[in-house]
Amino acid sequence: MNDENELKLRSSLMVSFGTQPRSRSILGMVGIALKMLMGDPVKYFGLVFGIGFSTLLMSQQASIFVGLLTWGANPVLDVRQAQVWVMDPRVKQPDQGQAISDQSLYRVRSVDGVAWAVPYARSAATVKTMQGNIAAVTLVGVDNQSMVGLPEENLANSMSAIRGRNAAILDGNTQHLIWADGRDPIGQVVEINDNRVVVTGLTSSLTNFSGLPTLYMKYSDAIAITPPERNKLSFVLVEPKPGVTPEDLAERISEVTGLKALTRQQFAAAGTQFIIENTGIPISFGAAIGLGILVAVVITALTLAMFVAENLKNFGALKAIGVTNRQILVMVLSQALLVGFIGYGIGIGGTAAFLYFGQADPSLRGFKALGEIVGGSALLVMIIVLGSAYVSVRKVLKLDPAIVFRG
Amino acid sequence: MTLISPQAALIDQVTKEFPSGNDVIQVLHGISLGIDYGKMTMLVGPSGCGKTTVLSILSGTLSATSGTVTVMKKRLDRLKNDDLVRFRRRKIGFIFQQYNLIPTLNVAENAAIPLIADGVAWEDALNQSGRMLDHLGLGPHKAKYPRQLSGGQQQRVAIARALSHNPALVVCDEPTAALDAASGQAVMALLEEAADDPNRAVLVVTHDDRIFSFADRIVRMEDGRVIDDGLTQPLPPKGLRR
Ligand SMILES: Nc1ncnc2c1ncn2[C@@H]1O[C@H](COP(=O)(O)OP(=O)(O)OP(=O)(O)O)[C@@H](O)[C@H]1O
Ligand SMILES: [Mg+2]
């Protein structure tokens, strides 16, 4: 057939779709199929809520899982300005401070292609409030001049806040872990290693895996109040010159200094990877997600099989009367797709609502239903319902229509 | 010869074997039978003699082991499966002992199934089956569900379903077996009327002797063979029987 003829045939097929008896008979039987299923409310709602529940379980748990993983990357992502992180070769993740020598900063600055490099200190500390409370915090020291390391796009605003000696900017999202009474932290004085520190500003950090409040100070102040035997310089934050890629620069810094240098993306990924490899999170969430899939498979397969078995005699009568196997297949698949569609909508809606209202809770802040999760659970539900439908319908397809005459 | 008695359906030298373990049991032993237009033919005989098997083969729901099956000049034993299904849906009406209505469809929708399956638009199909329901006295029940009706009413819905597409052959297997006497008589009266159409043949398989009087012809079977083909009424008129 030449192209022109084929085109004509195709367009005539398209135009007549919906009016041709063949396609209309399919649509008609779909209507009958959906009425058959919805007329059995126990199974209909059982299927819808079974699929809805398992979609909720899968997508909500997967979203929390991904959210928790990003916590490992958030200390890196909080620093917006620097493209390359330089550290001790043994460091695997941002909360594992391992001091490097002060000279490292100058050696990094001398590497070709470095636009600027600044010190960054990150360590655990304990604060004591004037009210006598004690709280664990993450103490971050940011470069005195540039303030690179504060979780802000625009660092200029923050400069004035910690210009004074022993002034600190606190993460506003976790301040309640220091002052549970909800008081305004600005102006509060705390003690860190017997040094008085005044909170002079608030910022907003991404949630990190430790969940501790982060306190930001000038680098010089932060290392001055850290005990001498503790880590001082944890990381050197570097920006490449225009035209130099972060990857190339990181490689060059490693070669020249012998230190480990990673791009922002690489180090963020390493933070996530660390959680995957070193916590029970993947297993526990994997189990919950697996359970969701299992619930979907069991409920859908069993209920559909039961529905088809109970209607076997009716399907037999339909086959005798003159309903083709193709029509029966479409009928059962459309029943499965209907409950799959509605159930999935309910489940994914539940996850969306959970995450939306969860934003008010600091421990869920920033969690979102990624497109991959939304699409992935849709695909899973589709495979499960169509698979279950196919397994149940095979019995009907093989059914001898003459059985309808047998008692 | 065929001019005298035009036949809607004809099976010729049909045998049927069913597998039974490693063996086969022969249920039909070379049966030949024609079903005439404009008549109600009854197929009677003891249980297990093969009546349902004959009806199944004749209506294209079961294939014969050997022999030919011709319905409205079409050789059913030569049709491909999908064509056979389509043939049944257009040319044959089915009535079962247990009615086999779909419980979650209302009366009108149940009666419209053969039309919908054949691609008649939903509205048109409901109108067409609705007229048939009106005719059978079920007009007021169109929106009801099968479980809200008596057995006799359900069987009348099944008749509407079997007749809604105006088939040339109607086959009924024990249509009154599940009904009380009065309902059975009402159902048979409707089938008798359907058989009055010169373009239609009705085959009723039964061993309910209360309804024999509706037959235009009674074919007796025994052990897979036709033993008596009464072209005339073999029984006394209705009024003389219990
Ligand atoms: N699918 C089958 N497999 C095996 N044997 C069968 C099958 N269908 C029918 N038979 C056998 O064939 C014989 C005839 O059955 P059929 O149903 O045609 O009898 P019938 O005259 O309709 O009986 P009844 O009056 O009890 O309905 C019976 O012995 C039955 O057991
Ligand atoms: Mg029988």
- Asked, for residue A138, whether it belongs to a domain, the answer is yes
- Domain hosting A245: range is 101-258
Please state, in angstroms and rounded to a whole number, the distance separating the CA atoms of residues B77 and A226.
96
Name the pLDDT band for B3 (thresholds 50, 70, 90): very low
Distance from CA of B61 to the nearest CA of A (A): 5
- Asked, for residue A201, whether it belongs to a domain, the answer is yes
Calculate mean pLDDT across residues A267-294.
91
Q: Please give the residue of chain B at the shortest CA–CA distance from A32.
A: B105
Residue B75 has a pLDDT of 94
- Asked, for residue A85, whether it belongs to a domain, the answer is no
- Does the domain at B35-61+80-240 match CATH 3.90.700.10? Answer given as no
Alpha carbon dihedral B225, B230, B233, B235, in 10-degree steps, equals -50
Q: Where are the domains of chain B?
A: 35-61+80-240
Q: pLDDT at residue A365 above 50?
A: yes
Calculate mean pLDDT across residues B180-198.
93
Contact of A145 with chain B, judged by CB distance below 8 Å, is answered with no
The predicted-structure confidence for B130-186, as pLDDT tens digits, reads as follows: 999 999 999 999 999 999 999 999 999 999 999 999 999 999 999 999 899 999 999
| Residue A368, token pair as written in the block | 């979102």
- Asked, for residue A190, whether it belongs to a domain, the answer is yes
- Asked, for residue A396, whether it belongs to a domain, the answer is yes
The predicted-structure confidence for A156-197, as pLDDT tens digits, reads as follows: 777 777 878 889 999 988 888 888 888 888 888 999 988 999
Please state, in angstroms and rounded to a whole number, the distance separating the CA atoms of residues A400 and B52.
14
Contact of A41 with chain B, judged by CB distance below 8 Å, is answered with no
Q: What contacts A85, CB < 8 A, 6 or more positions away?
A: A76, A94, A235, A236, A237, A238, A261, A262, A263, A264, A267
| Residue type, position A55, single letter | T
Site from A399, A403, A405 to mutate, B interface, most B CB atoms within 10 angstroms = A405
On whether both A293 and A358 belong to a single domain, the answer is: yes
The predicted-structure confidence for A38-86, as pLDDT tens digits, reads as follows: 988 999 999 999 999 999 999 999 999 998 888 999 999 999 889 999 9
Note the ipTM here: 0.89
Calculate mean pLDDT across residues B225-238.
66
Residue A17 has a pLDDT of 44
On whether both A249 and A289 belong to a single domain, the answer is: no
On whether both A66 and A108 belong to a single domain, the answer is: no
Ligand 1 pocket by Cβ (under 6 Å): B 18, 27, 47-53, 207
Q: In total, how many domains does chain A have?
A: 2
CA of B48 to the centre of ligand 2 (A): 7
Residue A99 has a pLDDT of 87
Which position has the higher pLDDT, B28 or A132?
Answer: B28
Q: pLDDT at residue A26 above 90?
A: no
Ligand 1, atom 14, lies closest to the CA of: B50
The predicted-structure confidence for B88-146, as pLDDT tens digits, reads as follows: 999 999 999 999 999 999 999 999 999 999 999 999 999 999 999 999 999 999 999 99
Name the pLDDT band for A152 (thresholds 50, 70, 90): confident
A contacts of B113 (beta carbons < 8 Å): 32, 318, 321, 323
On whether both A109 and A243 belong to a single domain, the answer is: yes
- Asked, for residue A84, whether it belongs to a domain, the answer is no
On whether both A228 and A129 belong to a single domain, the answer is: yes
Residue A369 has a pLDDT of 79
B contacts of A44 (beta carbons < 8 Å): none
On whether both A155 and A240 belong to a single domain, the answer is: yes
B contacts of A404 (beta carbons < 8 Å): 61, 94, 96, 100
Interface contacts A/B by beta carbons within 8 Å = 109
Site from B61, B94, B106, B159 to mutate, A interface, most A CB atoms within 10 angstroms = B61
Ligand 1, atom 2, lies closest to the CA of: B18
The burial of A237, by beta-carbon neighbours within 10 Å (0-12 exposed, 13-18 middle, 19 or more buried), is given as: buried
On whether both A330 and A389 belong to a single domain, the answer is: yes
Residue B232 has a pLDDT of 52
Residue B242 has a pLDDT of 38
On whether both A59 and A124 belong to a single domain, the answer is: no
On whether both A241 and A337 belong to a single domain, the answer is: no
The predicted-structure confidence for B32-41, as pLDDT tens digits, reads as follows: 999 999 999 9
Residue A407 has a pLDDT of 63
Residue A55 has a pLDDT of 93
Query: Whole-prediction pTM value?
Result: 0.80
Among the partner residues B94, B97, B173, nearest to A321 by beta-carbon distance: B94
Nearest to A253 by CA among A93, A83, A72, A81: A83
Task: Tell me what the pLDDT averaged over chain B comes to.
Answer: 90
Residue A19 has a pLDDT of 53
On whether both A296 and A220 belong to a single domain, the answer is: no
**DSSP-derived 3-state class of residue B160:** helix
Task: Tell me what the pLDDT averaged over chain A comes to.
Answer: 88
**Range name among A117-121, A231-235, A245-249, B210-214 with the lowest pLDDT average:** A231-235
Tell me the ligand closest to B27's alpha carbon: 1
